[in-house]
Amino acid sequence: MAQSKPQRPRRRSRHPRSRPLPRHSGLILLAAVAFSLAAAVAIYLHHNRPRTRVVVLPPVHWREETLRLGRAVEIAGGNGVWVKGNTEGIFPPRHRDTLIEALAEPSVFAAAERAFRREVHRDGLQLRVTRENKRAPGASLLMELSNGREREGRWRLREVSEIRRAAIVMDDLGQDLEPVRKLLTFPYPLTFSIMPHLRYSRETAEMAFHAGRAIILHMPMEADDFSDHPVGRYGLAVGMPESKVASVLASDLGSVPYAAGVNNHMGSKATSDLALMRELMPLLARRKLFFIDSRTSGASVALEAARRAGVPAFFRSVFLDDRQNVAYTLGQLRLFRRVVERQGIALAIGHPHPSTLAALAEFLPEFAKADIELVPASLVVQLPQAARLTPE
């Protein structure tokens, strides 16, 4: 019987047979794939997410942005808004940390706020609004602008019962340039009233125009004491025919470029003569000029004649410098402020005396502190309430 060969023991495979997959393994695999896909999508969205626009405004652009905001508020509110600027009425202020105030009458307050918000949103800035003075009669909103990292400005929109306005006309300019240079350093819209045909009449008008100041013709008119104050060939006198009035006006305006209006130099006799004023005012209307009655006589009919001819017109309430003394002019400026507070609008006239310039330099910031806007005479004559006021 043949002897059987001993069997070799089986060699274990280096790759053991795979065990069967556990139940629900397909679900686990699917979950893993879904998790990986979700993670990839999350990473993609994180790197491509819409981000808040961060705007860092350099000084020049900050100034432009501030001016745009101010214009938007002014357009929305019209005459019912004053973008005051800082406490002294300077706009835009020099530093972005300065609190800027804008005053609005109740009828336009909401419109001014909406315009401000739209402009901020358009420029991609962030806005935080805090309601102040909740118990006060008028609303007050503190509005803080930021670029997401740092503050870009602070504004306060404050509700007031009315915007009070004052105009100051500086007469007798054109004789000397030194006071003109001094007046142009004041950051306020004073009105330059320039006498015709003087050595520096045209140059004064050019300087004032390029500095953005309002210009009017300071037209010589006949005074009661004619012998002491002759009107000359460039002024108006009682009894002149209309053709002569027209030629004198044209000549005077030709020597004072950019004049938008007229006020009288002297003229106590001329402005009291209804016939002469009826000749002058239609000529101003045709040229679209306004008129300021300097009120050198209580018998003046110039204001009434101007309004009847459709000429925008207003009148002087206070002379600032009948005496060339700083203390006196400061007292007159305080009186003028009280008139504005009582009437809502008023106009004063001064002259380029050193004492007057010194008093103006000291007192002009006080108007803004009293919430009174200094404006050119050209704006005063356009205000609806101006047509309802008459000299006291």
Q: Which CATH number characterizes residue 361's domain?
A: 3.20.20.370
How many Cα atoms within 13 Å fall on the side-chain side of residue 339?
Answer: 23
Indicate whether 377 belongs to any domain. yes
Residue 45: the pLDDT is 62
Confidence tier at 357 by pLDDT (50, 70, 90): very high
- How many structural domains comprise the chain? 2
Residues 253 and 285 reside in one and the same domain: yes
| Structural domain ending residue among the three candidates 92, 124, 159 | 159
Neighbouring CB atoms inside 10 A of 30's CB total: 11
Please answer whether residues 304 and 286 qualify as being in contact, where contact means their C-beta atoms are separated by less than 8 angstroms.
no
Question: How far is residue 303's CA from residue 262's CA, in Å, rounded to a whole number?
Answer: 12
Alpha-carbon dihedral of residues 118, 121, 127, 132, nearest 10 degrees? 0
Residue 62: the pLDDT is 81
Residue 151: the pLDDT is 87
> In terms of Cα–Cα distance, which of 330, 253, 332 is closest to 286?
253
- Check whether 219 has a pLDDT greater than 50: yes
Confidence tier at 95 by pLDDT (50, 70, 90): confident
- Check whether 24 has a pLDDT greater than 90: no
Residues 144 and 196 reside in one and the same domain: no
Residue 1: the pLDDT is 46
- Check whether 46 has a pLDDT greater than 80: no
**278 Rama sector, left if φ>0, alpha if ψ -120 to 50, beta otherwise:** alpha
Indicate whether 137 belongs to any domain. yes
* H runs (alpha helix) in 186-317: 201-210, 242-255, 274-286, 302-308
Q: What is the mean pLDDT of the chain?
A: 89
Residues 124 and 234 reside in one and the same domain: no
Residue 149: the pLDDT is 85
Indicate whether 25 belongs to any domain. no
Task: Read off the pLDDT of each residue in 262-280 and give the average, rounded to a whole number.
Answer: 98
Task: Read off the pLDDT of each residue in 141-168 and give the average, rounded to a whole number.
Answer: 94
> In terms of Cα–Cα distance, which of 334, 383, 335, 325 is closest to 357?
325
Residues 202 and 312 reside in one and the same domain: yes
Residues 125 and 255 reside in one and the same domain: no
Residues 181 and 129 reside in one and the same domain: no
- The amino acid occupying position 260 is A
- Check whether 25 has a pLDDT greater than 80: no
Residues 191 and 266 reside in one and the same domain: yes
Residues 323 and 371 reside in one and the same domain: yes
Residue 53: the pLDDT is 47
Domain span including residue 155: 59-159
> In terms of Cα–Cα distance, which of 104, 98, 107, 106 is closest to 72?
104
| Structural domain ending residue among the three candidates 133, 159, 185 | 159
Is 0.75 topped by the overall pTM?
A: yes
- Check whether 269 has a pLDDT greater than 80: yes
Confidence tier at 54 by pLDDT (50, 70, 90): very low
| Structural domain ending residue among the three candidates 111, 142, 159 | 159
Residue 232: the pLDDT is 86
Residues 135 and 240 reside in one and the same domain: no
Indicate whether 175 belongs to any domain. yes
- Check whether 141 has a pLDDT greater than 90: yes
Task: Read off the pLDDT of each residue in 109-134 and give the average, rounded to a whole number.
Answer: 93
Residues 168 and 103 reside in one and the same domain: no
What CATH number does the domain containing 88 carry? 3.30.460
Residues 191 and 324 reside in one and the same domain: yes
- Percent of the chain residues topping a pLDDT of 90: 74
Residue 133: the pLDDT is 75
Residues 279 and 178 reside in one and the same domain: yes
- The amino acid occupying position 233 is R
- Check whether 391 has a pLDDT greater than 70: yes
- Check whether 56 has a pLDDT greater than 50: no
